[in-house]
Structure 1
C-alpha cells in the first residue's frame, strides 16, 4: 500500500513539473447573493514559479492599479470608462443589469484557486443593458 501511495505522489510531482511555465492570471469579479461573475480579465503577469503567491498577488495588484487607475470605475481608458468595459462584457454574457455592486480583484496562480488581493472598486458598479450608469442608492 505504501508503494502505491509513493508511486502516486511521484507521478503527481512529475505531472505538475511537466505542465510548463508558471503563470499568474488577474481578474475582476462581482459578487451577488446567488453568483460570482468574472467581469474582466487582465493580461497574465509573469512569475518565477508556482510557489510565489506573494509575487503573483503583488504583480496583479500593480496591474489592477495601473490599468484601472486604482480601481476607479469612472476612470477613462481608451475612450471608455473602466466600468463601461465591465458592463459591456457582462452584457455579452447575457447579464443585463447590475446594481450597487463592488468589483473585487483576484489572482489565480498555476491553476489553483482564485485568491482575493484585498482590492475593491472605489465605487459601486451599476450596469443597465451594457451601459455603465451612476448608481442610485
Structure 2
C-alpha cells in the first residue's frame, strides 16, 4: 500500500471515529455497518470544469448539487443552486434517516475530494446514481461561483 492509500485509510478511520462519536446513542448505525458500507468498492472519476458546467446545464429536475463543506465556508462562496449539507449532517441523513431516493442524480462537491469520495461510497451502496465526484471544488471553478448575487 502506497502513501496515498495509507493517508486515505487514515482519513476514513478519522471520519468514522467522528461519525461514531456524533451518533453515539443512536442504534441505527454501528461502526461495523459504517465500515462495511465504506468498502463498497465504488469507482470514481474526477471531472474537469467543462464537464461540471455541462452537468449543471443539463441537470435533471430530480438532481441534487450537494456541497459537503462546512456552512461558514459555503456561505463565503458556493456554486449557485448548491445545497449546503456539511459532511457530518449528510452522513446522518444517509445512514440514519436514509432520506435520499435511489433515483436522484447527485453531484457532490467538497474542499479536497475525500469527503465527496466517502459520501459517494455510501451512496453507491444504496445504488444511488452519482453524477459528480471528487475534486470538483477547484480554484478554476471560482469563475462559476456565486457570492449570493451571481448565478451560473
TM-score of the superposed pair, with normalisation by structure 2: 0.23
Higher strand share: 1
TM-score of the superposed pair, with normalisation by structure 1: 0.25
Higher helix share: 2
Q: Which has the larger radius of gyration?
A: 1
